[in-house]
Amino acid sequence: MPSPLHNPPKLYLNEHLSPRLAVQLRGYGFDAVSSQEAKMLSADDEEQFAWAVGEHRAIITFNFNDFVELHQRYNSEGKEHFGIILSTAETVAVLLRRLLKLMNSISVDELKNQIRWLNEFK
């Protein structure tokens, strides 16, 4: 894999993603934390998203409906967020490969206030 971009996004992995992914991403030099590491496992989606926003992190989730709704609400209220990355459930290896491609091609500024599909990065 190429080296990280000068300004890649910081990532927050929602609870449905394996905490191993955060560890593996950090091994490649990226700033990533799992909801387990953040002690947010019992938090609802709004709390998860607010935590990610407060930490200037893009959230990665399989939960399409709730996070699209949160994105729309933030936009309508003029609030900023640092990105939502939606994915279908895949193996850890597939998710890691796609996340590495994303992290090496999108900057924090390009992801800000955006929803991106991880499946774009096959």
pLDDT at 72: 97
- Interatomic CA distance for residues 43 and 29, integer angstroms: 28
Contact 51, 27 (CB under 8 A): no
pLDDT at 3: 47
- In tens, the pLDDT along 43-66 reads 999 999 999 999 999 999 999 999
Beta strands (DSSP E) in the chain are 10-13, 32-34, 57-61, 84-86, 115-117
- Interatomic CA distance for residues 43 and 14, integer angstroms: 10
Which CATH architecture is the domain 10-117 placed in? Answer: 3-Layer(aba) Sandwich (3.40)
- In tens, the pLDDT along 98-118 reads 999 999 999 999 999 999 999
The residues, ordered by sequence, that sit 6+ positions from 46 with a Cβ below 8 Å of its Cβ are 70
- In tens, the pLDDT along 2-46 reads 445 479 999 999 999 999 999 999 999 999 999 999 999 989 999
Nearest to 122 by CA among 106, 103, 99, 105: 99
Tell me the domain boundaries of the chain: 10-117
- In tens, the pLDDT along 58-96 reads 999 999 999 999 999 999 999 999 999 999 999 999 999
